[in-house]
């Protein structure tokens, strides 16, 4: 992003990452702690706190990179993996986008259907996808403006829900719930909450890259970190408490505790929060797909029209996926969220180690679109570290494929811990063995040329 096009203030990051977390999918994530992992409300709350506080550290560290480099996060992956090596990560990230976008569309439809019952079924999914697509076409500025306006309203919705649950929980004896500790479920919920935050990492810097390059790193970190933690934690906790209070964890059961006017207000805010998150999960894959195309045609600078065309295709495909997944949503989402950790954590660790430890933020963004200089076609240490880490994680897998070590540990999910340690040690070791990091190019031009999706 050229310096003359950068604008905004670092505090604008807070409403974005607060708002996208106030949505039904965050609530459902908290519900998993009680319904799937078998935790008591107390231990579920503790696990939610630990997971979010840890995962958000990685997410916010990625956010800092945006203003410093001025490029989308996935273009920056070329600095670690090489021009073509980054395609491995781009493919994995597109899977992440589709999974989240489909999940959000399902819950957005279910939420608005509680107000307007005729917006249901496939038609409801199309309706939610169409609204999301319109916002993406209008562009980035609308996302920022909308989140600034809605910040207080999102916060009010969370407070109303919390007061309602506390009041009803007291009547129904929530304090008398079983406090027994379930180690397997506890580790599973920590992993789920952490990967919820890490899942934002592939596109968090897409919203900080518009800030001036002089933006200090510390405020960028904290406005992102506090926004995403303060948005996600209360809503996840509400999901956990909801099951304890009423016996099920749906948006319908949640708003059933509210009187009429408050019910309508909260449903509207949850729907807007879902659309807010859906926009980010549609905007992101559009840029990622353009990045893939531009890999094979480096001289092509995609414009907004190309981004919008890709967004249309992605929205249609995500709607189809949502239609198939809706009938068995909770099980599909549970499996998806755990598989995410196997894909995202190795990339996140490699990216952060390369940026903060090896190159110390010293990159040449112009070289991100030139495979003949700077970062080359493949960076073997990063590609090998990513693939090997994924293979090492497989025996610890607890969903889709249940690995032998996971079986021996009675289903304890350690993929996030194993992935973090293995990718860290392996990447650092391979970089040192290969003679250190690649030399960075001296940027003599004084200005940055547009990169892939840079004008989109």
Spatial CB neighbours of 379, under 8 Å, sequence gap ≥ 6: 80, 81, 82, 85, 438
Does 174 have pLDDT greater than 70? Answer: no
What pLDDT score was predicted for residue 449? 40
Mean pLDDT lowest for which of 81-90, 177-186, 261-270, 271-280?
177-186
Q: How far apart, in Å, are the Cα atoms of 200 and each of 53, 97, 124, 228, 323?
A: 14, 10, 26, 9, 24
What pLDDT score was predicted for residue 411? 73
What pLDDT score was predicted for residue 170? 56
Choice between 146 and 387, residue whose per-residue pLDDT is larger: 387
pTM of the model: 0.82
- In this prediction, residue 130 has a pLDDT band, given cuts at 50, 70 and 90, of very high
What is the pLDDT averaged over residues 432-442? Answer: 60
CA–CA distance, 271 with 273 (Å, rounded to integer)? 5
Q: Which two tokens stand for residue 86?
A: 């980054």
What pLDDT score was predicted for residue 61? 94
DSSP summary character for residue 354: I
- In this prediction, residue 441 has a pLDDT band, given cuts at 50, 70 and 90, of very low
Choice between 438 and 433, residue whose per-residue pLDDT is larger: 433
Residues 82-103: tens digit of each pLDDT: 888 889 888 888 888 888 899 8
B/e letters for 391-420, b = 16+ CB within 10 Å, e = fewer, are: ebbebbbbbeeebebbeebeebbbbbbbbb
Residue of 443, 441, 456, 453 whose CA lies nearest to 213: 443
CA–CA distance, 251 with 358 (Å, rounded to integer)? 46
User: To which residue do tokens 């099980």 refer?
Assistant: 331
Four-residue CA torsion sign, 413, 414, 420, 423: negative
Does 176 have pLDDT greater than 70? Answer: no
Ranked by mean pLDDT, which of 19-23, 135-139, 352-356 comes out on top? 352-356
Residues 50-79: tens digit of each pLDDT: 999 999 999 999 999 888 888 878 888 888
- In this prediction, residue 180 has a pLDDT band, given cuts at 50, 70 and 90, of low
DSSP summary character for residue 182: -
Choice between 390 and 414, residue whose per-residue pLDDT is larger: 390
Q: Where are the alpha helices (DSSP H) in 114-179?
A: 121-138, 140-171
Distance, first Cα to last Cα, the chain? 10
Contact 90, 344 (CB under 8 A): no
Count Cβ atoms below 10 Å from residue 317 Cβ, excluding itself: 14
Instruction: For residue 210, give the 3-state DSSP assignment.
Output: coil
What pLDDT score was predicted for residue 152? 84
Residues 4-56: tens digit of each pLDDT: 666 778 888 998 899 889 888 888 888 888 887 888 888 999 999 999 999 99
* Residue 14 buriedness (CB in 10 A; 0-12 / 13-18 / 19+): buried
What pLDDT score was predicted for residue 249? 65
CA–CA distance, 77 with 98 (Å, rounded to integer)? 19
What pLDDT score was predicted for residue 133? 92
Q: How far apart, in Å, are the Cα atoms of 182 and each of 317, 363, 410, 447?
A: 39, 45, 12, 55
Q: Where are the alpha helices (DSSP H) in 326-447?
A: 329-352, 380-393, 404-408, 415-433
What pLDDT score was predicted for residue 442? 42
- In this prediction, residue 144 has a pLDDT band, given cuts at 50, 70 and 90, of low
């Amino acid at each position: 992003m050229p310096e003359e096009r950068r604008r905004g203030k670092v505090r604008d990051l807070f409403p974005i990452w607060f708002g996208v977390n106030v949505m039904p999918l965050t609530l459902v994530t908290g519900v998993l702690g009680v319904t799937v992992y078998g935790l008591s409300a107390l231990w579920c709350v503790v696990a939610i706190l630990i997971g979010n506080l840890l995962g958000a550290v990685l997410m916010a560290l990625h956010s800092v990179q945006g203003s410093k480099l001025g490029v989308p996060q996935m273009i920056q992956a070329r600095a670690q993996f090489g021009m073509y090596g980054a395609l491995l990560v781009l493919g994995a990230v597109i899977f992440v986008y589709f999974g989240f976008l489909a999940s959000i569309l399902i819950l957005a439809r279910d939420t608005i259907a509680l107000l307007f019952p005729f917006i249901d079924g496939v038609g409801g999914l199309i309706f939610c996808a169409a609204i999301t697509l319109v916002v993406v076409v209008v562009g980035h500025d609308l996302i920022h403006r909308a989140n600034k306006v809605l910040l207080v309203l999102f916060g009010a919705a969370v407070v109303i829900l919390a007061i309602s649950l506390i009041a009803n929980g007291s009547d129904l004896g929530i304090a008398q719930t079983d406090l027994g500790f379930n180690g397997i479920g506890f580790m599973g919920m920590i992993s789920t909450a952490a990967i919820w935050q890490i899942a934002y990492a592939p596109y968090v810097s897409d919203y900080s890259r518009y800030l001036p390059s002089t933006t200090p790193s510390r405020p960028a970190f904290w406005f992102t970190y506090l926004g995403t933690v303060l948005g996600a934690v209360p809503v996840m906790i509400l999901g956990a408490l909801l099951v304890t209070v009423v016996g099920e964890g749906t948006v319908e059961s949640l708003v059933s505790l509210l009187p009429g006017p408050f019910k309508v207000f909260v449903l509207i805010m949850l729907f807007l929060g879902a659309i807010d998150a859906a926009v980010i999960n549609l905007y992101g894959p559009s840029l990622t797909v353009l990045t893939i195309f531009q890999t094979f045609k480096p001289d092509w600078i995609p414009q907004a029209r190309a981004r919008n065309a890709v967004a249309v295709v992605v929205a249609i495909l995500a709607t189809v996926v949502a239609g198939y997944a809706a009938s068995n949503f909770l099980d599909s989402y549970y499996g998806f969220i755990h598989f995410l950790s196997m894909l995202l954590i190795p990339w996140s660790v490699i990216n952060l180690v390369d940026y903060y430890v090896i190159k110390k933020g010293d990159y040449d963004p112009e070289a991100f679109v030139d495979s003949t200089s700077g970062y080359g076609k493949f960076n073997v240490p990063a590609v090998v570290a990513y693939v090997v880490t994924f293979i090492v994680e497989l025996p610890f897998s607890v969903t889709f494929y249940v690995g032998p070590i996971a079986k021996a540990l009675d289903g304890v999910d350690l993929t996030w811990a194993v992935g973090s340690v293995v990718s860290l040690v392996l990447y650092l070791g391979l970089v040192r063995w290969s003679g250190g990091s690649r030399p960075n190019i001296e940027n003599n031009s004084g200005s940055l040329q547009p990169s892939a999706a840079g004008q989109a």
